[in-house]
Amino acid sequence: MNKLTKSLSSFVVPLISILLAFLVGMIIMVCMGKNPADALYFLGFGAFGNAANFGTTLSKATPLIFTSLCACFAYRCGVFNLGGEGQFIMGSVAACYVALRSGITGVPAMILCLAAGMAAGGVWGLVPGVLKITRGQNEMIISIMLNYVATLFMGVVYTNWLRDASVPQTEAVPNETKLPRVLTGMRFTYALVIAIVVGLLIYYFLFWTSGGFKLRAVGINMTASRFNGFPVKRYILTSFIVSGAIAGLGGAAELLGTQFRLINGFGAGYGFDGVAMALIGQLHPIATMVVAVFFAALRTGSMTMQAGTGVPTSVSDIIQALVIVFTVAGMALTKLPQFEQLRYRLRSRKGGNAA
């Protein structure tokens, strides 16, 4: 397979999956006695229909972009960071602490908060990384477990140390420290700009630098990388730290840009959403960002759909879930030898250039 057909075919699987998922979603709508065309129209309108709606979509996409890039980066080095959620939360906790307790406000505070978030996320990613390379512990289990630790730790923070009077939530970050919106009338903030910059940086690192090249090599074949003299363990640890830092930065940005305070349920689900989106985006940072926006659109649009046609938002959840299921199944399918044979046969029947 040459490069062009390879990147084409990696688009085909998610695309077919999305179409199939919508097809099933529409069948469900028909069974509910609703008009699927109307529902889809409202879904699209709610997500992209006007500047305000599109702004909401982008705002919702921002944290997903961060966690999906977090998953993407670790996967590229061949390790599974399922702890995006914990790293995201730790990042927001650190940022919240700095915002409320440092006494600084304004742009310096923003920078400090984001840096603290990155550091906290990085440390949270370091733990499974260190345990993996020194003790051979399974990084997936450790990083999942650390999600719970982070969630509970955040609970301690908003019920004790930074509690807002008698309400189980933290005080809101000062107005001067909130990330401003980029355009008036659209809800997304500079957090989105940061996310896009991070995504582009990762793309540049992975595909245009020697370090990223080697990191990918380690991710595909650790043994061969070791035989070729790459410091495999160092790459693994670094990828964990960077991956955690990305999620932590996302947590800080989400806090400063959208949520402003820690509260029960903050960040819940973002980690695993990110993993799914990275997989659908075929671990390509830019594709991953597009997928994150797509999912955010489904979530934003489903509200309008429910209001406009009475189709519940859970139908949108079903579609989202099916996209994931179909994509993963599709990717597994294309790896089957039978599939290769089938493709080969189809190609040679076309009188093709297979030989």
Partner 1 sequence: MRMEHISKRFGDFYANKDVSLDVRKGEVHTLLGENGAGKSTLMNILIGLYQPTEGKIFLKGREVRIESPSQAVKLGIGMVHQHFMLVEAMTVFDNIVLGDKNHKGIFIDKEARKREILALSEKYGLDVQPDRLITEISVGEQQRVEILKALYHGAELLILDEPSAALTDIEVEGLFEIMNKLISEGKSIIFISHKMREVLRISDRITILRAGEVVTTVNRGEYDGQGLANLMIGRELSASQYEKKDSQAETVIELRGAEFNKESKHNGLNGVNLSVRKGEIVGIAGVDGNGQTQLAQLVTGVIRPDQGEVSLKNSKVAVFDPDNFIREGVTHVPEDRNLQGLIGDMTIADNLVLRTTDKAEFSSGGGLFLKKGRIRNYARQMAKKYDIRCTSVEQDVRSLSGGNQQKVILARELEAGPDLLVAAHPTRGLDIGATRFVHDEMIQARDSGVGILLISADFDEILEMSDRILVIFEGQIMGEYSGKNPPIEEISLAMTGK
Tell me if 335 contacts partner 1 by CB under 8 A: no
Least CB distance to partner 1 at residue 328 (A): 18
When binding is defined by CB under 8 A, the residue of 9, 35, 138, 221 that contacts partner 1 is 221
User: CA–CA separation, 235 vs 217, rounded Å?
Assistant: 10
Task: Using the minimum distance from each CB to partner 1, give the nearer residue, 206 or 323.
Answer: 206
Q: Rule CB under 8 A: is residue 347 a binding residue for partner 1? A: no
Q: Which of 223, 265, 338, 349 binds partner 1 (CB under 8 A)?
A: 223
Q: Name the minimum Å distance from CB 326 to partner 1.
A: 23
> Could you tell me where the DSSP H helices lie in 32-156?
36-48, 51-76, 84-101, 106-135, 139-156
Question: Does residue 134 bind partner 1 (CB under 8 A)?
Answer: no
- Least distance from C-beta 10 to partner 1, angstroms? 12
Which residue, 52 or 220, is less far from partner 1 as judged by CB?
Answer: 220
Distance in angstroms between the alpha carbons of the first and the last residue of the chain = 13
Candidate ranges 16-24, 108-116, 229-237, 253-261; the one touching partner 1 (CB under 8 A) = 229-237
Does 226 engage in binding with partner 1 (CB under 8 A)?
yes
| 230 contacts partner 1 (rule: CB under 8 A) | yes
Distance CA 90, CA 107 (A): 21
* Sites for partner 1 among residues 20-59 (CB under 8 A): none
Chosen residue from 187, 216, 261, 284 binding partner 1 by CB under 8 A: 216
Spatial distance between the Cα atoms of 214 and 13, rounded to a whole number of angstroms? 27
Interacting residue with partner 1 among 106, 108, 168, 211 (CB under 8 A): 211
Q: Measuring CA to CA, how many Å separate 294 from each of 26, 62, 69, 301, 313?
A: 18, 11, 15, 10, 16
Whole-number minimum distance, CB 242 to partner 1, in Å? 17
Q: Return the DSSP state at 163.
A: E
* Listed residue (79, 70, 68, 10) closest to 219, CA to CA: 79
Stretch that binds partner 1, among 34-42, 115-123, 128-136, 211-219 (CB under 8 A): 211-219
- Of 229, 265, 337, 351, the residue at the interface with partner 1 (CB under 8 A) is 229
What does the alpha-carbon distance between residue 27 and residue 203 come to, in Å, rounded to a whole number?
A: 38
Burial of 33 (0-12, 13-18, 19+ CB in 10 A): exposed
- For residue 183, report the phi and psi dihedrals to the nearest 5 degrees: -125, 135
Question: Given CA atoms 53, 58, 63, 64 in this order, what sign does their dihedral have?
Answer: positive
Return residues touching partner 1 (CB under 8 A).
1-3, 6, 208-211, 213-214, 216-217, 220-221, 223-231
